[in-house]
């Protein structure tokens, strides 16, 4: 089942000199995990904001093409309707704090949908555990670190039990383990709840572990869209576009340039360990 | 006269509690020497920013002392301390408050009471170094995030501090922007500035820092070179940190004689070296 369908989508911000998105075509299935990568200011966040309806409903500009998200024609719908199906975690978590305390912020969405107090309590319990925010419930935004705010933003988005979760650099201010936790949480939500995940991130090491597809957005166009193994087999091309490789993949490239010993470039720590161990034991 | 290994900053028995009673720092002792490139790492909420804000007197100890160039921050004015130790906030937008890029960079030197000529020279020098000359008459609001971060640092450096503290220099930047930012800080360090960064990007720490301080629950739990720090995986795990992927890979290959490698180039050099023997035998 198609969860997101984008057909020849163009968008220009009112103040923009040129189109930020130039003819985007893509389809995303229910339960798919798609990572969007690419340099800053090449359209990643803009595409996310089209998928959750902030574009065109909260920004002025010029839109062309078609966009259907969870069965909603977002261009001709409105944000309240879209937000029942699409959860969003923005780059800057501060902009998502609508209420004074953490717990009020998490329950804000479900309360507005008229969800029962018992169900809301249950969601708060499980979500705060999931996001390591249990101890923060009565805090206000200025009493939270950047990483804590990001975790609260994720809990708040999930409290609406969305079908699609859109996250724009949700781990930029988290410590390394916090980053890993967010990715493993997203992986679990995809696996267990068949949640559709669209994620913007620069964290290639985690992307290769969880994403079904990696999409390169460059100058407002999708320049590459493939499963991680295929995507990262374009090392020189990606380097040219300013896209980082997972360190172990890069090591595979640097090593293999002269030797041609590896069958495929390793993507994960485990596969790199196996590949390089073979290199080291060959002929022993 | 100052010598190369002189302490420019000394922290002695520092405890700090916020007004609401939350204890943020406990019993910290450390020295920062001239010309160091130091990274402070630790999980969210471990006290990194609170500690760094003591380095120029933005915060003052509840107990203990912070001595900056011989001045105790308890007695020195913020004007005295901030001109010697520059502090760049985590979010540059919390710092930028002027109408043009040029005015922003001139603000610090103006407050030092320098001559117009000297202010102009310093502003030109910084805008040139940070590649912002073409944008000098623009509103900082219209700069990209990476440019605003560069401007925030330029504005602090215009006061000619000897030590600069940058809280999260690369948050929100892409790979190229992050590397470019660290290259700039590295260049400043080579010019003789002391550099302190707070970051979660272990790859950048491994590549650029010469010394790492690991914070855990308000204490310093590790202080050493990146190579030493990234070997202590059991301590790092407790602090929600982990070495860069390539360092972890090298640790997994320790049976083959690998030490910790800090970047992919170093890893591949080691791999070449260790696999020569095996290739000869074939």
Q: What is the pTM of this model?
A: 0.89
Question: What pLDDT, on the 0 to 100 scale, is given for residue B261?
Answer: 97
pLDDT in tens, A165-186: 999 998 887 888 888 888 988 9
Taking a C-beta distance cutoff of 8 angstroms, is the pair B54, B81 a contact?
no
pLDDT of residue A182: 85
**Predicted pLDDT of residue A203:** 93
pLDDT tens-digit map of B117-127: 999 999 999 99
Looking at residue A261, its pLDDT comes to: 66
Mean pLDDT, rounded, of chain A: 91
**Residue B277 pLDDT:** 59
Domain spans of chain A? 2-101+163-244, 246-284
* Complete DSSP assignment for chain A: -EEEEEEEEEEEETT-SS-SEEEEEEEEETT-EEEEE--TTSSHHHHHHHHTSHHHHTS-EEEEEEEEETTEEGGGS-HHHHHTTEEEE-SSGGGG--SSSHHHHHHHHHHHTT--HHHHHHHHHHHHHHTT-GGGTT--GGGS-HHHHHHHHHHHHHTT--SEEEEESTTTTS-HHHHHHHHHHHHHHHHHH--EEEEE-S-HHHHHHH-SEEEEEETTEEEEEE-HHHHTT-HHHHHHTTPPPPHHHHHHHHHHHHH---SS---SHHHHHHHHHHHHHTT-
Q: How many Cβ atoms sit within 10 Å of the Cβ of residue A84? A: 16
Asked, as a colleague might, if the bond just before A192 is cis with ω within 30 of 0, I would say no
B226-232 long-range contacts, Cβ below 8 Å, gap at least 24? Answer: B226/B39, B226/B262, B227/B259, B227/B260, B227/B262, B229/B41, B230/B202, B230/B206, B230/B260, B230/B262, B231/B260
Determine contact, residues B126/B197, Cβ cutoff 8 Å. Answer: no
Could A254 and B279 be called an inter-chain contact, meaning their C-beta atoms sit closer than 8 Å?
no
Average pLDDT, chain B: 91
CB-CB: which of A172, A273, A279 is closest to B172?
Answer: A172
Each residue of A205-235: pLDDT tens digit? 999 999 999 999 999 999 999 999 999 999 9
Question: Looking at per-residue confidence, does A53 or A184 come out higher?
Answer: A53
Do B51 and B28 meet the contact criterion of CB atoms below 8 Å apart?
Answer: yes
Among residues B267, B184, B41, B246, the alpha carbon closest in space to that of A245 is found at B246
pLDDT band at residue B279, thresholds of 50, 70 and 90?
Answer: low
Q: What is the pLDDT of residues B221-258, one digit of tens each?
A: 999 999 999 999 889 988 889 999 999 999 999 999 99
Tell me the H-state helices in B8-74: 48-54
Q: What is the pLDDT of residue B231?
A: 95
Q: In what order do the strands lie in the sheet with A164-168?
A: A86-89, A164-168, A196-200, A33-37, A213-218, A221-226
pLDDT recorded at residue B3: 47
Nearest to A39 among B174, B240, B278 (CB): B174
* Test mutation, A20, A208, A276, chain B, max B CBs within 10 A: A276
pLDDT for B45: 81
DSSP B47: S
Q: In the CATH scheme, what architecture does the domain A2-101+163-244 have?
A: 3-Layer(aba) Sandwich (3.40)
Q: How far apart are CA A203 and CA A119, in angstroms?
A: 34
Nearest-by-Cβ selection for B252 from A273, A279, A281: A273
Q: Do B279 and A91 touch (CB under 8 A)?
A: no
In a 3-state reduction of DSSP, which class is residue B46? coil
Query: Smallest Cβ distance to B278: which of A174, A273, A280?
Result: A280
Residue A214 CA to residue A267 CA, distance in Å, equals 13
Band the pLDDT of B282: cuts 50, 70, 90: very low
Confidence at residue B281, expressed as pLDDT on a 0 to 100 scale: 45
Quick one: pLDDT band at residue A16, thresholds 50, 70, 90?
A: confident
| Contact by Cβ (8 Å): B37, B209 | yes
Contacts of residue B256 in chain A, CB cutoff 8 Å? 277, 280
Measured CA to CA, the distance from residue A60 to residue B131 in angstroms comes to 31
User: Which residues lie across from B31 on neighbouring strands?
Assistant: B10
Q: Which pLDDT score is estimated for A192?
A: 85
Average pLDDT of span B144-164: 92
- Shortest Cα distance, chain A CAs vs residue B267, angstroms: 7
pLDDT band, very low/low/confident/very high, at A188 (cuts 50, 70, 90)? confident
Helix (H, G, I), strand (E, B) or coil at B125: helix
For A128-152, what is the mean pLDDT? 83
Q: Do A175 and B265 touch (CB under 8 A)?
A: no
Of B281 and B160, the one with more pLDDT: B160
Sorted by sequence, the CB contacts under 8 Å of residue B77 that are 6+ apart come out as none
């Amino acid at each position: 089942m198609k969860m997101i369908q984008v057909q020849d989508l163009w968008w220009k911000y009112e103040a923009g000199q040129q189109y930020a998105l130039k003819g985007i075509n893509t389809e995303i299935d229910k339960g798919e995990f798609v990572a969007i990568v690419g340099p800053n200011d090449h359209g990643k966040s803009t595409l996310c904001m089209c998928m959750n309806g902030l574009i065109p409903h909260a920004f002025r500009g010029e839109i062309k093409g078609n966009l259907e998200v969870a069965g909603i024609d977002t261009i001709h719908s409105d944000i309240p309707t879209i937000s029942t199906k699409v959860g969003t975690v923005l780059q800057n978590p501060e902009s998502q704090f609508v209420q004074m305390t953490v717990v009020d912020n998490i329950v804000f969405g479900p309360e507005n949908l008229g969800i029962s107090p018992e169900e809301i309590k249950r969601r708060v319990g499980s979500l705060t555990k999931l996001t390591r925010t249990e101890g923060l419930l009565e805090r206000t935004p200025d009493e939270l670190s950047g990483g804590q705010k990001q975790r609260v933003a994720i809990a708040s988005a999930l409290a609406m039990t969305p079908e699609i979760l859109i996250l724009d650099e949700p781990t930029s201010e988290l410590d390394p383990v916090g980053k890993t936790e967010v990715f493993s949480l997203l992986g679990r939500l995809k696996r267990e709840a068949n949640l559709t995940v669209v994620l913007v991130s620069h964290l290639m090491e985690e992307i290769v572990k969880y994403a079904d597809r990696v999409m390169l957005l460059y100058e407002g166009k999708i320049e590459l869209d493939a499963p991680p193994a295929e995507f990262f087999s374009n090392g020189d091309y990606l380097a040219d576009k300013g896209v980082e490789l997972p360190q172990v993949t890069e090591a595979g490239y640097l090593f293999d340039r002269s030797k041609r010993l590896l069958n495929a470039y390793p993507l994960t720590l485990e596969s790199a360990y196996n590949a390089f161990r073979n290199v080291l034991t060959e002929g022993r | 006269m100052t010598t190369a290994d002189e302490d420019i900053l000394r922290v002695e028995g520092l405890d700090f509690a916020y007004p609401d009673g939350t204890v943020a720092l406990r019993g910290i002792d450390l020295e920062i020497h001239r010309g160091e490139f130091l990274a402070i790492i630790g999980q969210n909420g471990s006290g990194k920013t609170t500690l760094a804000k003591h380095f120029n007197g933005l915060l003052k100890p509840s107990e203990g002392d912070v001595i900056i160039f011989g001045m105790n921050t308890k007695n020195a004015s913020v004007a005295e301390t901030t001109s010697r130790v520059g502090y760049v906030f985590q979010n540059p937008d919390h710092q930028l408050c002027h109408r043009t890029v040029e005015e922003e960079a001139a603000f610090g030197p103006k407050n030092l009471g320098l001559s117009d000529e000297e202010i102009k020279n310093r502003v030109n020098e910084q805008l040139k170094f940070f590649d912002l000359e073409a944008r000098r008459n623009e509103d900082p609001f219209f700069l990209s995030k990476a440019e605003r971060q560069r401007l925030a640092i330029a504005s602090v450096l215009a006061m000619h501090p000897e030590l600069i503290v940058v809280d999260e220099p690369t948050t929100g930047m892409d790979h190229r922007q992050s590397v470019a930012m660290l290259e700039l800080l590295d260049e400043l360090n080579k010019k003789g500035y002391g550099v302190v960064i707070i970051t979660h990007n272990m790859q950048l720490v491994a590549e650029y820092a010469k010394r790492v301080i690991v914070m855990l629950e308000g204490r310093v739990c590790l202080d050493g070179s990146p190579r030493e720090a990234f070997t202590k995986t059991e301590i790092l795990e407790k602090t929600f940190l982990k070495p860069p992927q390539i360092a972890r890979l090298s640790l997994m290959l320790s049976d083959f004689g690998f030490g910790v490698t800090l970047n992919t180039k170093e890893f591949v050099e080691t791999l070449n070296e260790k696999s020569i023997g095996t290739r000869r035998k074939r």
